[in-house]
Each structure stands twice: as C-alpha cells, then as structure tokens.
Amino acid sequence: MLATARNLIILAYTIRRTLILFASLFIAAAVLFVLLRLLPGDPANALLGVGATSEQIEAARAQVGSDQPLHVQFVYFIGSLARLDLGTSFVSRASVLEEIANRMSVTLPLTLLGFFLAIALAVPLGIVSAVRAQSWYGGAISVVSQLGIAIPVFWVGILLVTLFSINLRWFPSGGFPLRGWSDFSEAARGMVLPALTIGLVMGASLLRYVRASTLDVLGSDYLRTARALGSSFPEALVRHGLRNGAVPVISILGIELATTFLGAVVIERVFNLPGLGSMLLLAIQQRDYPNVQGVLFVSTLLVLLIGFAADIAQRLVDPRLRRTSVQA
C-alpha cells in the first residue's frame, strides 16, 4: 500500500510538472518570437542581394512570411514548432532540424563527457575535502577548487592546448574529422581536451556544493545517532548520509548540466568544433533567422527538460519532498 501511494504521489507530481513544462516552453517560444522580431531589419534581407528591386523585396518577404501580420506569423510559428518543423535555412536551403541533429552529434557528446568527468572529480574530492577538512590535503582541495571557479573556461582550454597539444603533442589542438564519428579514433581524440576543459571548470564549481552538502550531513543528528547505535563512520555515512546529501546536489547538477550545455559555444569556438554554438554564431552573422530561432528553441527545450528531470529525481530520492507535493 505504501509503495502504491508513493507511486501515485510521484505520478501526480509528474503530470503537474509536465503541464508546467509545456507552459514554460510556450512562454519561451513566445519570448523568442518577439525578441527576434524586435531585431532591426527584415528576415527577407538574407535572401536579397545589393540593389534588389521593390518587386524582389516583396517576393522575398512573401517567401519568408514577413509580409503577414505579427499574430498570423506567431500562429504559424507555434504550429510549426508543434509539428517539429523548424523551417529551412535561408542560406543553405537545408532543413534546420536536420542541421541541428548533425551539430548535436558534436555538442551533446561534448556536454555529457564533460558532465560525467566533472561528477567523477567533484563527488569523491568533495567528500574527502569535507571529511578531512582539518587536514592539509582537505584544505588544498578546497583552495584548488576555488581557483578553478575563478579561472575563465576559455583560459583553461588555452592552457590545456598549450600543454597537451603544443608541448606534448598528445592530442589535436582543435577541429573535428570531416567524417564525424565514422572516424571514431580521431573524433574521440578531438573530444578529449574540450571535455577535459568543461570537466575541470564544472567540477571545481560542483565540488564546492558537494563539500557543503557533506559538511551538513556530518553535523546532522541522524548521523550521530547511527554512530551511537554502533555503525562505523563509513557505514553511517554511506547508509544515511549520501542519500540526504544528494538531494541539494541533484538540483545543482541540473543547473550545472544546463549551464554546461549553454556554455559549449565558448568551448566550441576555442577548439573549432562544428557544434550548435558554431551554428548559432554563423547564423547570427548571416542573419539566417530559421537557424537562429531553431538553435535557440532546441537549447531552451533541452534546458527545460534538464530541469524537469532534476525535479523528478529529487522527489524520487527525498520522501520529504513527496509529502510537500501532497500538501501543496
């Protein structure tokens, strides 16, 4: 019965959170539509050359739909998004959705590799830094993490390129094979330094949260009670501390993952990777509105989905949040 009630609570919260997700996505799409239309110039200009006649301008405006009233353009825009139709590039005439899918084959692995590397570094080092806070190496870990937060991500990338590409010549300084992941060994080698850059910078930030959460657990009554009942310190920490300490960290993980995905544009520029960031910058330079709004919409969607997954994970881990959901 308890398991059934718990599942119903989680299901009800998931349904409510899903409705909020769709509402947030609609608002984000509306804001994106308005902001792009506030930019100076007409989207049709991307199709025109210098000295275009008035007839050519009107034909181009009819082709891109900018001759229609804004409310008509908005309804068409929302309807296209609902059909997962992101339009066609003004410049390349290629499907925006297909181009984004191709670029995601670079951005998504880069983000996930950096994310998991950050977790692998931050979780054990954060716990050690909290448990051994009075030791020299606990303090050293804390100091190094502070330095990692202060250093700009592009500077970390440049340092890694200088060390591992120019001096040691272990990895390429940038670029991605033309055949993509079909040339797996070269693609993997090209991902090492960008992922390491993200992992180090994100890991330094995440380590601080893991350390703070672990310190809260170490000072908790339930951990002292478990020790008083005969559990060893490692056993009490694993059985009672990790789950409670994971709750605030999960929400931070969602924020960090979203930030890492959005910040990939910087890393892709440093390492010359053909990901979503490069696509967005090129589209802005060329005033290719379908590509710009397609990349921004997909990025917003992924950020909202990450937040949605983090919220659900928190409810699964912490029963106190499930009780809060019922009272709400």
Tell me the C-alpha to C-alpha distance, in Å, between residue 90 and each of 63, 64, 161. Answer: 10, 9, 36
CATH of range 2-39+86-327; options 3.90.1150.10, 3.30.1180.20, 3.40.50.720, 1.10.3720.10: 1.10.3720.10
Q: Residue 303: is its pLDDT beyond 70?
A: yes
Of 9, 76, 25, the closest CA to residue 312 belongs to 9
User: Cβ distance 296 to 225 under 8 Å?
Assistant: no
Q: Residue 248: is its pLDDT beyond 60?
A: yes
List residues bridging with 88 in a β-sheet. 95
Spatial neighbors of 286 by CB under 8 A, at least 6 apart, are: 46, 90, 91
pLDDT value of position 318: 61
Residue 246: its H or E element: helix 242-262
Higher per-residue confidence, 134 vs 195: 195
Conformational region of residue 287, where left means phi above 0, alpha means psi within -120 to 50, and beta covers everything else: left
3-state secondary structure 54-121: HHHHHHHHHHHCCCCCHHHHHHHHHHHHHCCCCCECCCCCCEHHHHHHHHHHHHHHHHHHHHHHHHHH
Band (pLDDT 50/70/90 cuts) for residue 131 is confident
pLDDT value of position 327: 46
User: Cβ distance 264 to 278 under 8 Å?
Assistant: no
3-state secondary structure 21-41: HHHHHHHHHHHHHHHHHHCCC
User: Cβ distance 192 to 171 under 8 Å?
Assistant: yes
> Mean pLDDT across the stretch 155-184?
82
- How many other CB atoms sit within 10 Å of the CB of residue 131? 18
User: Which tokens belong to 308?
Assistant: 């949605």
pLDDT value of position 243: 65
Question: Of 124-128, 173-177, 244-248, where does the model show the most confidence?
Answer: 124-128
Q: pLDDT by residue (tens digit) across 214-237?
A: 777 776 766 667 667 776 666 676
Q: pLDDT by residue (tens digit) across 37-79?
A: 776 666 666 666 666 667 766 776 776 666 677 788 788 888 8
Distance between CA atoms of residues 295 and 265, nearest Å: 12
Total-model pTM? 0.76
User: Cβ distance 60 to 47 under 8 Å?
Assistant: yes
Band (pLDDT 50/70/90 cuts) for residue 325 is very low
Q: Residue 282: is its pLDDT beyond 60?
A: yes
- Domains of the chain, residue spans: 2-39+86-327
Q: Residue 326: is its pLDDT beyond 50?
A: no
User: Which tokens belong to 45?
Assistant: 């200009």
User: Which tokens belong to 73?
Assistant: 């353009």
- For 15-22, the CB contacts below 8 A with 24+ separation are 17/308, 17/311, 17/312, 18/308, 21/304, 21/305, 21/308
